[in-house]
Amino acid sequence: MKEVCNSLQGLKPVIVMVFVQIAYAAMNIMCKLVINDGMSMRVATAYRLICASAFTIPVALFFDRRKRPKITWKVLFMAFLSGLFGLEKLNWSLAEGKAKVMGTAIGISGAMLMTFYNGAEINIRSSNINLLHAHQNQNGHMEPQHADFSNKLLGVLCAIGSSCFFSLWFIIQAKMNKEYPSHHSSTALMSTMGAIQAIVFAICVDRDLTQWKLGYNIRLLMVAYSGIVISGIATIVIAWCIKMRGPLFASVFYPLQLLLVAVSAYLLLDEKLYLGSILGAVLIVCGLYIVLWSKNKEMKEKVQVTSMAGPTYSEA
């Protein structure tokens, strides 16, 4: 019974990160809908972080009211700069170290395959659902796409830059957990700082007041969902998973998001499904399994070392 409980306890970070990717996939679908509706992503990001800040501050005040560490300039400075140094140990000499590298490479290869290779179209029974059809103008015609997709090179560079900064964020979170071990308060701090930055940037770029108007529509739903669920709850959960298993464990789940988005877009946005998506999905799942196996073996070895060192320490 104890072994079963320990196994379930060990599966918690895995289950949580899978649900995080499902939540992110849903946000991607909503982003597609609000872009099609003409909403500026700069304004959406500002609203998202405002909503996240409004949600996480009361949560932090409640859960961390008795154990909140003092926020110092050192904490802020370390949170920003310490992410530039270190990752987790690869332990290349051990089998699990090689497996972590190989699994990560396989997962990334799967993600790249899904992104850059289409192949033959896969004809599976369609759900006949296209949420984009809900956004029509008064004449009954589809609204034109407001985003400019002509410069694909710029899009690729932005995607690479986003991935690099997101990777740094994982590393910063690992350091932040050691320097300021309060997930709720650190998330509230990040959301508030991000909201200030996003508001200033959006106001400077998007001065059209109509962009800032929210009604009872998909825009409000996207802002509330992305703010509370993604920038609020998911960020707190990711910080907890990084503390439990490290930054590599959390980041290795993100290629899974591509698979979930591809399936969701096929079912809900009537987008096409290609052979490259299927092959990439297989690689992503295989890479994820290999990394999880290596992390599980690492944790078992740490437990064994700790249990062996315990009696020796007590005897001394």
DSSP 280-315: HHHHHHHHHHHHHHHHHHHHHHHHHHHHHHHHHHHH
pLDDT for the residue numbered 51? 92
Q: Which residue has the higher pLDDT, 155 or 186?
A: 186
What number is the average pLDDT over the span 223-231? 91
Q: What percentage of residues in the chain have a pLDDT greater than 70?
A: 74
Q: Residue 278 — pLDDT band, cuts 50, 70, 90? A: confident
Count of CB atoms within 10 A of residue 145's CB? 11
The full length of the chain comes to 316
pLDDT for the residue numbered 224? 93
**Hey, which of 12-16, 111-115, 146-150 has the most confident mean pLDDT?**
12-16
Q: Where are the domains of the chain?
A: 2-65+89-304
Give the Cα separation of 212 and 204 in Å (integer). 13
Backbone angles phi, psi at 149, to 5 degrees: -105, 15
pLDDT for the residue numbered 119? 81
**Hey, which of 52-66, 147-161, 221-235 has the most confident mean pLDDT?**
221-235
Identify whether the C-beta of residue 284 lies closer than 8 Å to the C-beta of residue 255: yes
Give the residue from 151, 25, 109 showing the smallest Cα distance to 285. 109
Considering only 24-38, 131-145, 162-176, 268-282, which range has the smallest mean pLDDT? 131-145
What number is the average pLDDT over the span 22-28? 91
Compute the mean pLDDT over every residue in the chain, rounded to the nearest whole number: 76
What does the CA dihedral 228, 234, 236, 237 come to, rounded to 10 degrees? 150
pLDDT for the residue numbered 304? 65
Tokens 């490290």 sit on residue: 246
